[in-house]
Structure 1
């Protein structure tokens, strides 16, 4: 007797759809890898990205060491230049002092004029030694932003409105915690902020300080920067806790030239009159961002300047991947073998997108360390970025390659002409990026180009951060994008999604 086997279970619609898409995907991958020009184009895109990144760091060897730039507690490049009148504080203690006046001078070429730079700072500070880049916490009167408490270069807290214009300042150190207070009359005190400085030594330096960054004057294509100096008069300091006896000691911390080239007339110093102090200082205590500070340095994204050329090449390949079958009349065979046209478009997008993604990933991962080595070898510094930020830049560059190539594929599918599709990609992606970042347009139009065109996607590469307490040129030509990294990339993705949807719609409605 012959046993009768049960019939195999029927495949579900979802399983059949997956099997069908896998066959289409395999067919499109075979087409892509068997066309030598497309494979070579992808490889050249990676090579061009790396080579331009390396060559862009070429230039005359500078006479300073790139590692001379101070690093803050988190490894960030910082300005740490100010005039410091200090004593040693062992253990806990406090310092209270009134700031009775703050004046300044600004050097505009050979001329000097009176004026206080808005972020000139005069106040009291607790600092973990005199080494530039060490932990600190300070409360201060500023030239135009009221009373602030700042610590470790990137952190800034505005005083409550009640003491925003106060002139009495107090710092209290308790272990690793430093608390700042402000008062309008020296009797009633308001807490401005309390911060923890991890690893703060038992013995620290504390006292009065004055700093003044360069004065910025905005222009239509950026800004000019003039050296500035500030002078503050402090009343009698009241000290409690473990202060060493003796006279105040004064000296410059760091180099005032970190924030610009200061003339001989803009130098620091202090005098004692009665029980008060008059202190003059220049420089700044802040993170290094864009503007003149990058005159001898690079941000990480500057090392990937070749990415726009690599992206253009992968976009060309993406456009040809879609248009070649129309030009040769092979698209009818493709649709005969796979009648579901949307599935064919999805497979093509996945093949070119993954290929471009891997190309961008390899190119960025290779370009950054090689260009960094070359820059440092010529005496330039590269602004450090956290491991997470660098990973975002590398992965973001790869995503730029992928999405731009898919956008080109979708446009070529819409118009069925590879050359025309590439022209459109240049017009909407590459040209706005070059015009905006190359300083060819005023700042306003440049910023709008990087908000509303697909070129906004390049924001994914940005590592420079805008700090409210640092005045500099926050414009596309200096490396700043008007949208945050992922928001800018979302604009590019939105354009690509619309183009893909339109391409899929037309594929279903018109003849092959």
Structure 2
């Protein structure tokens, strides 16, 4: 008896490196479609062109260019304007003073006397590396409404005792220098002292300027047409100034640090600053601020690096169209069947497409931002607009973040395109979900909802481009219209990333289940 044996069926396994070949195939497909390639190039050009147009308008009253803002030790733009009564300290030492009053004047007309005290008016003792604006410092101070504080190098702020200074309840302040370390102390009676904090000022001069200071930033007010800022001055009364350590032995000198109040919109220091002897101490009057520069109405004539990237909107729309088209065009032309036949593992096909379009969008964003951030800054300053300097790490985050923003948006569009199989509908959904909430929030069309629009919609991703920070010790309008997002930069990008990830996962599931 003869029997015929049928060999067992074998299932072909994908060769090693199969995904690499698939990725190469998707890249080849992308670069051979001229429309996609030229769209990516056009996105770079349009981002740069719109950014250039945004910096084209010059300040006709200042044809030689705007004055640069002072830069602090951390690389950020700062306000550094105050009235200073000072001596040089040689080596280690201390200064102790009693502040018996802090009074102020707030008015919209510098020629009229006003009343009131700015909440962040400051009077106290300071150790400063020099009289140049932006130089390193540490200070102990009494404030208008925030009690005793220790602040140093513009961005650092530590709270001490609460309450206002008065003749009946003076606030005693002390700064002690030991090498590069400055330690701040406070006391309610001049006998029992408590430490508020310390600052390490690397490279502090051997003979820094040490003494008494007063400054007062502008005060936020409602003008009837929106929020504005009224100029302010403050006067502090210092009693019983005591010096310890090796001082140079010179007499007290009085100087105005900074020609004006910077971006704080306060009075001209040349007209309002001064100091007069008062008993064993001084009465010092000053205005301005010692703090980082932030956005808002007080800096309406100052630009941020985000201003040079306004073309990101146009570039994003282009890359969204490309991202959606990478999958919808195959459905429209009937090519998706061939693609899935060549690579039966459908999820890997979508992943390969996402890596290709995401990488191209990343390159588009990084190249555009890397060109516009430095070039836009130079062009803006040449046209009379100072630019808020930011630390190098922040600048790099904005540049790389612009690329990640476009990459996440294009992958989001790819996923929505795979879900809907219709390019126009997919592009519309992504653009409306990202651009419309941003425009509504920044234009203050829906004031009550603007914060939530930038928290829960894909538009939260634009937060990655924010270069200016929020500081509790600086009063301004912290709102989307002033360039402030409710979420931190990376948190905002994570919201957009979550939309893209969920959409992508859903697209993979449906691609596996549906008929091509």
Q: TM-score, normalised by structure 2?
A: 0.91
Aligned to 2:386: 381
> Tell me, what secondary structure is at the counterpart of 1:74?
coil
Report if the CA contact (8 A) 2:75-2:392 is conserved.
no
Aligned residue among 200, 203, 207 for 2:204: 200
Partner of 1:134: 135
Deviations 1:147-169 (A, max 9, x none): 00111111111115699986111
1:218-260 Cα deviation digits (max 9, x unpaired): 6899731110111111112122222344543222111333121
- Evaluate the alpha carbon distance shift between residue 28 and residue 52 of structure 1 in structure 2; reply closer, same or farther with a 3 A threshold: same
Instruction: Name the CA shift for 1:327/1:84 in 2 (closer, same or farther; >3 Å).
Output: same
SS at match of 2:90: strand
1:34 matched residue in structure 2? 32
**2:49 aligned partner:** 51
Asked if 1:171 corresponds to 2:169, the answer is: no
1:245-394 → structure 2 map (5 Å cutoff): 245=249, 247-258=251-262, 259-260=264-265, 262=267, 267-394=272-399
Q: 1:431 aligns with which of 436, 442, 449?
A: 436
Contact 2:470–2:478 (8 Å) recurs in 1: yes
- 1:215–1:17 distance in 2 versus 1, CA, 3 Å: farther
Equivalent of residue 232 in structure 2, options 215, 228, 232: 228
SS in structure 2 at match of 1:119? coil
Q: Which whole-Å deviations, capped at 9, do the CAs of 1:156-209 have from their partners, x for residues lacking one?
A: 111156999861111222232222111101111111122222222222222111
**How far 1:501 sits from its partner (Å)?**
1.1
Aligned partners of 1:289 and 1:466 also within 8 Å: yes
Check the 8 A contact 2:369/2:402 in 1, yes or no: yes
**Alignment root-mean-square deviation, CA:** 2.5
- The 2-side partners of 1:78 and 1:306 are apart by 27
Can you give the 5+ residue segments of structure 1 that lack an aligned partner in the other structure?
1-9
Confirm or deny: 8 A CA contact 1:221 1:439 kept in the other structure.
no
1:20 maps to 2:21: no
Please tell me whether the aligned partners of residues 163 and 182 of structure 1 are also in contact (alpha carbons under 8 angstroms). no
Distance in structure 2 (CA, Å) of the matches to 1:376 and 1:263: 23
TM-score, with structure 1 as normaliser: 0.91
Distance 1:290 1:37 in 2: 40
Mapping of residues 59-70 of structure 1, within 5 Å: 59-61=57-59, 63=62, 65-66=65-66, 68-70=68-70
In structure 1, the partner of 2:77 is 77
Report the Cα distance in structure 2 between the residues aligned to 1:457 and 1:123, rounded to whole angstroms.
Answer: 42
Q: Deviations over 1:378-434 (max 9, x none)?
A: 122222223322222211111111111111111111111111111101110111122
Superposed CA deviations along residues 118-175 of structure 1, whole A, max 9, x for unmatched, are: 1100111111221111121110000011100111111111115699986111122223
> Cα–Cα, structure 1 residues 220 and 46, in superposed 2: closer, same or farther, change >3 Å?
farther
Tell me, yes or no, if structure 1 residue 466 matches structure 2 residue 464.
no
Match of 2:480 among 444, 459, 476: 476
* CA displacement 1:246-283 (0-9 Å, x = unmatched): 54322211133312152699711121132231111100
Q: Which runs of 5+ in 2 are unaligned?
A: 1-9
Inter-partner Cα distance in structure 2 for 1:199 and 1:452: 45
Provide the rounded CA distance (Å) in 1 between the counterparts of 2:252 and 2:394.
43
How far apart, in 1, do the equivalents of 2:164 and 2:186 lie? 6
Which segment is superposed worse, 160-169 or 493-502?
A: 160-169
